[in-house]
Amino acid sequence: MTHNRPESETHERAPLDVPDAWRRSAAQIAGHAWRTVLVLGATDRGKSTYCQFLTRALCGAGTRVAFVDADIGQKDIGPPATVSLGFADGIEARGAGQGWPGCAFADSAAGLPAARLAGLYFVGHVNPVAHFLTIVIGTQRMAAAAADAPFVLVDTVGLVHGSGRALLGFLIESLEPDVIVALERDGELESVLKAHRHRRIVRLPVSDRAVAKSARTRRALRERAFRTHFAGAQDLEFPVDQLVFQRWSLFNGVPVADARFLYAEATVDGIVGVSVHGAAQHHRRLTVLPAGFERDLLCGIGDHAGKLQGLGIINRIDFRLGTISLFTAVPQRRVHVVQPGDMHLARDGRELRRERLVRASH
């Protein structure tokens, strides 16, 4: 049986196209030692390709480069729904015929798969809308974790219109980059850049080879990234009272006996109850969750220090026995903090469309 090559593979195997302006920008950044480089651009403007090129250019002389991947949907390092940190260490030049030094990244436009993953922050979804706070906190934390790197490159989400302008503004304020690199084709970044024109800005053209990916291709790339992350995962079971639950109300209140519910807790916001019958309900000081609401919910898994170790999928919660079952590649001894997200995921990486039913709790 023969198969057509997926669109994603066609894009990934394409050689890097480096406009002269990109080369000049790399020389500027290296020559002036502009350490924190924030790369902005709409979807399919070539931000990842530029970051790959710039990383190669900077680490070719033996310079260590940190890469913060804040694009939570189309990842170059780490799984989707996270902000991730990777390091590339300078090595002898590869691809000299392409006109720039090489480093420990892959030799195609596929991104940065060979970078050493050094840190993760769980955002909770692949869509940045309604997740600005976790994106900004995660990006700032990952950049701070790269304190010993001479250069820190930050790739961002492609949401630049509407509320996306606010997100980019928050990232600029939080990171205070030494230079903002703007990849734009139709002036779509103008309002963001004008609001921060007191900062150093380098405007660059989009590569002629930049091609838009379809929604189907983007989804397929996320599914593959999730499958890679969950390779080797297993089912683990824990007593809920041995774990710390963050970012939701459940298991952070006081259990109460209530005949209406399979399980109920009293919280500062009222009663949270799990009902065998009926759909989810939200009333003043009462949240009703249907049994099974937690199944397939993506979550972040942290160790005893709260450092994110990887992702998990909740299989089930047995409220009678007080146990939770997780599907995760994180070793059992490192599972201590559970951060439920806002999306449901099948084990094969498929995104399941269900509504999150548990209200956040700080």
Query: What distance, in Å, lies between the first and last C-alpha atoms of the chain?
Result: 53
The predicted pLDDT at position 9 comes to 41
Report the pLDDT value the prediction gives residue 281, as an integer from 0 to 100. Answer: 74
Task: Please give the structure tokens belonging to residue 168.
Answer: 């980019």
The pLDDT of residue 112 is: 52
d(CA 315, CA 311): 13
Residue reference for tokens 């050094």? 118
In a domain, 135, yes or no: yes
What domain range includes position 251? 234-352
What is the token pair recorded at 232? 């080797």
Do 156 and 201 have their domain in common? yes
Alpha-carbon distance of 281 to 269, in angstroms, equals 14
How far apart, in Å, are the Cα atoms of 93 and each of 13, 14, 61, 107, 163?
Answer: 20, 20, 8, 11, 41
Looking up residue 261, the CATH number of its domain turns out to be: 2.40.30.330
Q: Do the beta carbons of residue 123 and residue 135 sit within 8 Å?
A: yes
Q: Which of 171, 206, 229 is the last residue before a domain boundary?
A: 229
With CA atoms as reference, report the closest residue to 136 among 234, 38, 14.
Answer: 38
Q: Are residues 158 and 277 in the same domain?
A: no
Which residues, listed in sequence order, are joined to residue 318 by a DSSP beta bridge?
A: 323
Residue from 298, 175, 176, 276 nearest 229 by CA: 298
Instruction: Tell me: do 85 and 195 sit in the same domain.
Output: yes
Q: Are residues 35 and 155 in the same domain?
A: yes
Number of neighbours of residue 17 by Cβ within 10 angstroms: 15
Beta pairing, strands 270-275 & 286-290: parallel
What is the rounded distance in angstroms from the CA atom of residue 298 to the CA atom of residue 311?
A: 7
Q: Provide the phi-psi class of 342: left if phi over 0, else alpha when psi is between -120 and 50, else beta.
A: alpha
Residues 25 and 46 in one domain: yes
Phi, psi at 110, each rounded to 5°: -75, -5
Residues 186 and 130 grouped into a single domain = yes
- Look at residue 189 and tell me if it is in a domain: yes
Which of these three, 174, 209, 229, is where a domain ends? Answer: 229
DSSP-assigned states of every residue in 90-140? B-S---GGGTS--BSS-SSTT--TTSEEEEEEE-S-S--TT-HHHHHHHHH
In a domain, 194, yes or no: yes
**Are residues 55 and 127 both part of a single domain?**
yes
Same-domain pairing of 197 and 306: no
CATH label of the domain that carries residue 104: 3.40.50.300
Q: What is the token pair recorded at 89?
A: 């260490």
144 occurs within a structural domain? yes
Instruction: Say whether both 200 and 167 belong to one domain.
Output: yes
Measured N-to-C along each axis, helices 47-59 and 20-32 cross at an angle, to the nearest 10 degrees, of: 50
Total tally of structural domains belonging to the chain: 2
Is residue 361 situated within a structural domain? no
Q: What is the DSSP letter of 73?
A: S
Q: Is 200 in the same domain as 261?
A: no
Query: pTM of the prediction?
Result: 0.88
Do the domain assignments include residue 1?
A: no
Claim to verify: residue 142 and residue 24 sit in the same structural domain: yes
Domain stops at, among 229, 251, 285: 229
The DSSP output letter for 17 is -
Q: What angle do CA 281, 287, 291 make, to 5 degrees?
A: 75
Let me know whether 119 and 186 are in one domain: yes
Residue 2 lies in a domain: no
From first to last of its 362 residues, the chain has per-residue pLDDT tens of: 333 334 444 344 455 678 899 999 999 999 999 999 999 999 999 999 999 999 989 987 678 899 999 999 999 999 999 999 999 876 433 433 333 333 333 333 344 535 678 999 999 999 999 999 999 999 999 999 999 999 999 999 999 999 999 999 999 999 999 999 999 998 999 999 999 999 999 999 998 777 788 999 999 999 999 999 999 999 999 999 999 999 988 999 999 999 989 999 999 989 999 998 767 777 778 989 998 999 999 999 999 999 999 999 999 999 999 999 999 999 999 999 999 999 999 999 999 987 655 544 44
Pairwise CA distance, residues 50 & 71, whole Å = 14
- Per-residue pLDDT, 342: 93
Specify whether the CB–CB gap between 100 and 26 falls below 8 A: yes
Q: How far is CA 1 from CA 4, 6, 220, 327, in A?
A: 10, 15, 21, 33
Evaluate the CA torsion angle 333, 336, 341, 344 in order and state its sign: positive
Domain assignment present for 190: yes
